[in-house]
Structure 1
């Protein structure tokens, strides 16, 4: 297998024939572009297109969060939303609490912003251990906490309601900002939990998300609600990006308003469920002992291998054969989870990808 025929087992772009919903989205964006006429000479307002923000607010109302367009700011994806949140509420040297294992993109942001990290033990089923976080807060002067309450990567954990309430109580007691990374919520095929933001009574939750995980990574369209820091975040958006693409926002607005988004996501969730089940079947057939998560949403499964396995070593060997994996130690700053890896089920399981999984198991056995 050559590098030119690489098979990506990470959570990257879906391949294959373009879904009909994405074709419709492209048409909506194309129509919006043709309607611009002389508007292409002007910047959009920093907060983003009001029509799109209204449609997003309508979607959030279905998840228990009543907000409106004035409380949302459009960004270039969830990663930029997280960046704006941390840049606004933290200063160099501040301590930020993160889930462990947690999203390596957040760890990279924290390093770039020169922020210190304290890792909070996290269940792959129920998310952040809030009791352990309470103990950490007694020892560390934590400024912010980044958490993914719904279908968190890497294992698809969902934080129970009582744990969410306790987290917000701790935020009040210790004067914290809670940054909610909500990017995987819409993938849930057994129901989509309410946002953590829906429980926020004092503006301490900064909600960050995007459409990239259910539509397209190339769309680069996200949003942020900054809570009590929202005006500062808008200023940060103005100085760092100025504005977002008007016609892309208007095309997505139409896609949502006309019901195409709901129809697309309904089919996509069923596809994800089937692909997750198929991946679990493949892993169950591996001739070595593995433990896996079985999430009800998200895009990935967390695989725990025998302790003697070094997935960083496997990563190098797999790359040599054109197979891309995500080693477990990327999800921690303390070099933990070295015998774990994350595998995506965002792609259909064709013959070549199934072969890559089988070859990966052979590489692990002969390490």
Structure 2
């Protein structure tokens, strides 16, 4: 059994400079070895060592062990790339090689360099005849709840946000140089975590709809921040609710997979009984539970809401509402082209108003 033991080093300033110089030399040597391997088509360790070993030692003044390790690491990198290509896991670099089109932006952020490249990813054949719709209720306590009854809870994310908010308040009050450095380091950590969670939820929802031949039903939450009035303790939680980002992620992933998306009016979805259609404010017993005052059915509130969203979307689809493509997200996630004009796509329906007779 092999174990990897991590030991923290405490080098002096001179030793740290020497270590950095050695790493820099190894990286430069590995880049050269990779170019030789690609040009010669030789990716085996022993054969590549014959071609590059002496030059790596003399050109970058590396010891025998460091030179051999650099060559082996290069071979390992090519082996990993080959395995990913065989398994269909192209990765971002392969995606760039296959689909990169148009402009690219070079970004320097927090001491790191990024390349934002525009890619044109082929879309799947649109599904113009879905068998049903998967309703998605977006919320704060539960980030997303499906009409199948699946709940993707947001409690962990909300706990993290509360902790981060408290930490920011303390650091801002302290206002020392070290506190400002710490604030700067953590400023985008919460946003990155929320974005990662939203990507995973969107991917799961689209995959579920695609494999069952269904469309996706979402609420049209445009302007909800302006319409909803909240008490002061609730404002921070509501303002950090990234429902718009999650909705965008679902829309563009669905478009790429050929899954139809329908937006419905969210009015009274939380007060309407999905079984009998009775609408009453008293039906919503609490944040978590729904109890119909007419038929007596008891259900999870978000599950009941998602079933109403699904029913409204199915009704709209049967009426043949006008189809439009969703606007591409501004952040260009996962290859979305921000400069491309929206093109008409048949199975995507935009319904801004829906009157349920209430």
TM score, norm. by length of structure 1 = 0.23
Ranked by relative contact order (alpha carbons within 8 Å, sequence separation 6 or more), the top structure is 1
Flag the structure with larger Rg: 2
